[in-house]
Copies of this chain bind each other. A is one copy, B any other.
Amino acid sequence: MRIIIIDDDPLVSSSLQIILNNESDMEVVATGNSGFDAVSLVEKHSPDVLVMDIRMDGMNGLEAAEKILASNPDMKILFLTTFLDDEYINKALRLGAAGYILKQECGTLVASVRAVYGGQSVFGSKIVEKLPDMLNRKERFNYDAFGITEKEQELIKYVADGLSNKEIAEKMFLGEGTIRNLMSSVLSKLDLRDRTQLACFYYKNII
């Protein structure tokens, strides 16, 4: 697999080069130290994977990635960065980056490059931890606070799947009447009126 490395610190790029060249199936075909380098070197070499720093003078990694992906939408770009920055992460995701890992935890660089080459996307765990916050963040719903039993939780999930009482009864190995009673109990605990409101509640507050 043919790789290009871009980092404005020559020390970093040469270290990475050594690490990756040490793998029998990897070959670093070029290194550069700016976004401009990235664009031209990719055009020249058509590598399989581009490992690139984000913060660089002149054209930064994200800008370079945008240019490269415009003409080469399948390029695998693995960002290697020192910083955890929501905006960068968000932008990188939007661009279609293949990965975003922190230099501090790049012990798995080789495995990451290989996974990226295979079409997966790799993100540092610290980065992934931020994703839920960036998505619609909801506290884990506290069933106990409402006195909702386990069976009732199960029922709620089935309702939110659109099942009828009869179907739920089959799934839970209970009588249909029992399900009705359970439903009644859940609705009154959550102060809702009917199953549709329960489904809405589920999507708004639980998932």
Contacts and interface: CB of A to CB of B under 8 A. Distances in A.
**How many subunits of this chain does the assembly comprise?**
2
A101 interface: yes
A93 B162 contact: no
Main secondary structure of the interface of A (DSSP, over half): helix
A135 interface: yes
B118 A115 contact: no
Interface in A107-160: 107-108, 111-112, 114-115, 117-125, 127-129, 131-132, 134-137, 140, 159-160
Contact of A196 (B112, B193, B196): B196
Given A108-B118, A108-B119, A199-B200, A162 B129 contact: no
Given A162-B193, A196-B196, A125 B136 contact: no
A121 B123 contact: yes
A120 B101 contact: yes
Nearest to A130: B93
Contact of A135 (B119, B135, B160, B194): B135
B125 A122 contact: no
A180 interface: no
A72 to B, nearest CB: 15
Contact of A98 (B111, B125, B131, B192): B125
A189 interface: no
Contacts of A98: 125
Interface in A159-197: 159-162, 164, 192-197
Given A114-B111, A120-B122, A136 B137 contact: yes
Interface of A: 87, 90-91, 93-94, 96, 98, 101, 105, 107-108, 111-112, 114-115, 117-125, 127-129, 131-132, 134-137, 140, 159-162, 164, 192-197, 199-201, 203-204, 207
